[in-house]
Amino acid sequence: MWQKILCVCLLLPACVQARVWLGEVSRVSDGDTLWIKAGRGVAPRKVRLLGLDAPELCQPGGVAARTALQALVAHKPVQVNVNFQDTYGRDLARLQVDGRDVGAALVGAGHAWSSRWRGSLGPYAVQEASARAAGLGLFADPAAELPRDFRKRQGPCRPVR
């Protein structure tokens, strides 16, 4: 029995490896969600950036976060490293553009928080600390509210164009 468990444990990491593909951004919905086409004739896929949480569009800093993401990825080839799919069917992924980690760039410029989970400060904690120390973007406001807290208090935003 323990041999079967050991085999499953050894094979599991191979099953959950990231799926990598290339594409071009067709639309940016907000500061952490975008649509990417993998090629001609292929429908764009909805992708949420993994490891960060950008403000909602109706939240202070939300439109600036979307604009910053657009500036980083618009009309450029991107490498998509999909780790999971969420309950909404979006790919949860890390993006690379011009050899640069898009999530690290957004958090480092103060346009998003590093995702916090179970006591962890998240993958971009160093970039967030640097942006906080410099008072960049969201972190210029000491009362900036985490998007998850904003959503709990405010509920979902109405669509903003």
Catalytic residue among 45, 66, 90, 94: 90
Q: What is the pTM of this model?
A: 0.84
Tens of pLDDT, residue by residue over 74-98, are 889 999 999 999 888 889 999 999 9
Closest by CA position to 27, among listed 41, 43, 15: 43
Half-sphere exposure of 141 (CA within 13 A, CB side): 11
Decide if 100 is catalytic. Answer: no
The answer to whether 36 and 29 have CB atoms below 8 angstroms apart is no
Confidence category of residue 14, pLDDT binned at 50, 70, 90:
very low
Which range marks the domain in which residue 21 is found?
16-153
Catalytic residue among 45, 48, 66, 94: 48
Structural domain contains residue 103: yes
Decide if 94 is catalytic. Answer: no
CATH of residue 117: 2.40.50.90
Burial 24-58 (b: 16+ CB within 10 A, else e): ebeebebbbbbbbeeeeeeeebbbbbbbbbbbbbb
Spell out the alpha helix ranges (H) of 38-118. Answer: 62-73, 102-108
Structural domain contains residue 143: yes
For residue 156, is pLDDT > 90? no
Structural domain contains residue 10: no
Structural domain contains residue 144: yes
How many domains in the chain? 1
pLDDT at 5: 41
Structural domain contains residue 6: no
The answer to whether 103 and 49 have CB atoms below 8 angstroms apart is yes
Structural domain contains residue 5: no
Catalytic residue among 45, 56, 128, 145: 56
Decide if 56 is catalytic. Answer: yes
Tens of pLDDT, residue by residue over 94-113, are 999 999 999 999 999 999 99
Q: Rg of the chain's alpha carbons, rounded to an integer?
A: 17
